[in-house]
Chain A
Amino acid sequence: MERRKRRLFVRGEYFDYTLLLVVLFLVAFGLVMVYSTSSYKSILIHEYPYYWLIRQAAFALGGVVGMLIVSRMDYHIWKTWTIPLWFSMWILQVLVMAFGKEVNGSRRWLGVGSLTIQPSEVAKLSLILVMAHCIVAYLPKLRQFKFLILFFLVVAGPVIVLVGAENMSTSMILFMIAGVMIFVAVPGYKQFLSIIGAGGALVLILLKTQAYRMERIQIWRDPTSTPKGYQTLQALYAIGSGGIFGKGLGQSMQKMGFIPEAYNDMIFSVVCEELGLFGALCVITLVLILVYRCVIIAYHAPDLYGSLIVIGAMTHISVQVLMNMAVVTNTMPPTGIPLPFISYGGTSIVFLLLEIGIVLSISRQIRLSKQENL
Chain B
Amino acid sequence: MYLHNSHIRKKTALYVAIILLGFTAVTIHLIYLMIGSSEYYRKEALELHQREREIKAPRGVIYDRNGIPLAANKPVCTVSVIHSQLEEPERVIRILAKQLELDEETVRKKVEKVSAREKIKNNVARNVGEKIRGYHLAGVMVDEDYRRWYPYSTLFSRVLGFTGSDNQGIVGLEVEYDSQLQGKSGNILTLTDARGVEIANAGEEREEPVAGRALYTSLDYNIQRYASQACEKTWKKKEAKSVSMVIMNPKNGEIYAMVNLPEYDLNDPFTLIGDVDTDNLTAKEKQDRLNQMWRNYCINDTYEPGSIFKIVTATAALEEKVVSVNDYFSCPGFRIVEDRRIRCHKAGGHGQETFREGIMNSCNPVFIDVGLRLGAANAYKYYRKLGLFETTGIDLPGEANSIMHKPDKIGAVELATMSFGQSFQITPMQLLRAAGAAINGGTLVTPHFGVKIVDENSGKEKKLNYPKKTGAVSPETSALMRELLEAVVAEGGGNKAYIEGYRIGGKTATSQKLPRGNGKYISAFLGFAPADDPTVMGIVLIEEPKGVYYGGTIAAPVMREMFEMILPYLGIEPQAVTKEKNK
Contacts and interface: CB of A to CB of B under 8 A. Distances in A.
A237 B48 contact: yes
Given A253-B49, A256-B194, A280-B30, A239 B12 contact: no
Contacts of A236: 33, 41
Interface residues of B, number: 40
A330 B31 CA distance: 13
B476 interface: no
Given A241-B42, A243-B38, 12 more contacts: A184-B12, A240-B38, A256-B193, A257-B194, A277-B35, A295-B12, A295-B16, A299-B3, A307-B3, A322-B26, A326-B26, A331-B29
A184 B48 CA distance: 49
* Most A CB within 10 A of own CB, among B30, B37, B194, B195: B30
Nearest to A300: B1
* Most A CB within 10 A of own CB, among B26, B27, B46, B49: B26
Interface string B169-211: 0000000000000000000000111110001000000000000
Interface of B: 1-3, 7-9, 11-13, 15-16, 19-20, 22-23, 25-27, 29-31, 33-35, 37-38, 40-42, 44-46, 48-49, 191-195, 199
B553 to A, nearest CB: 78
A253 B194 CA distance: 9
Contacts of A331: 25-26, 29
Interface stretch (A73-81, A104-112, A152-160, A311-319): A311-319
Contacts of A149: none
Chain A interface main SS type: helix
* Most B CB within 10 A of own CB, among A253, A258, A319, A369: A253
Nearest to A245: B34
Contact of A311 (B12, B41, B48): B12
Nearest to B43: A241
Contacts of A287: 23
A3 B34 CA distance: 57
Given A184-B8, A280-B30, A307-B8, A326 B41 contact: no
Nearest to B194: A257
B3 A239 contact: no
Interface string A327-341: 001110000000000
A256 B12 CA distance: 42
Contacts of B16: 291, 295, 318
A295 B12 CA distance: 7
A329 B29 contact: yes
Given A240-B37, A257-B194, A325 B45 contact: no
Contacts, number: 121
A303 B2 contact: yes
Contacts of B7: 187
A330 B195 CA distance: 25
Contact of B34 (A183, A240, A298): A240
Given A295-B16, A319-B19, A185 B33 contact: no
A32 B185 CA distance: 43
A240 B15 contact: no
A325 B20 CA distance: 13
A85 B311 CA distance: 118
30 contacts: A184-B8, A184-B12, A184-B15, A237-B41, A237-B44, A237-B48, A240-B42, A241-B38, A241-B46, A243-B35, A244-B34, A256-B192, A256-B194, A257-B194, A272-B33, A277-B34, A288-B20, A291-B19, A299-B12, A304-B2, A307-B3, A315-B15, A318-B16, A319-B19, A322-B26, A325-B23, A325-B26, A326-B25, A326-B26, A330-B29
A284 B44 CA distance: 27
A270 to B, nearest CB: 12
A326 B22 contact: yes
Contacts of B33: 236, 239-240, 272, 329
A329 B193 contact: no
A342 interface: no
A308 B11 CA distance: 12
B41 A239 contact: yes
B21 to A, nearest CB: 10
A242 B34 contact: yes
B45 A318 contact: no
B44 to A, nearest CB: 6
Interface in A22-46: 40
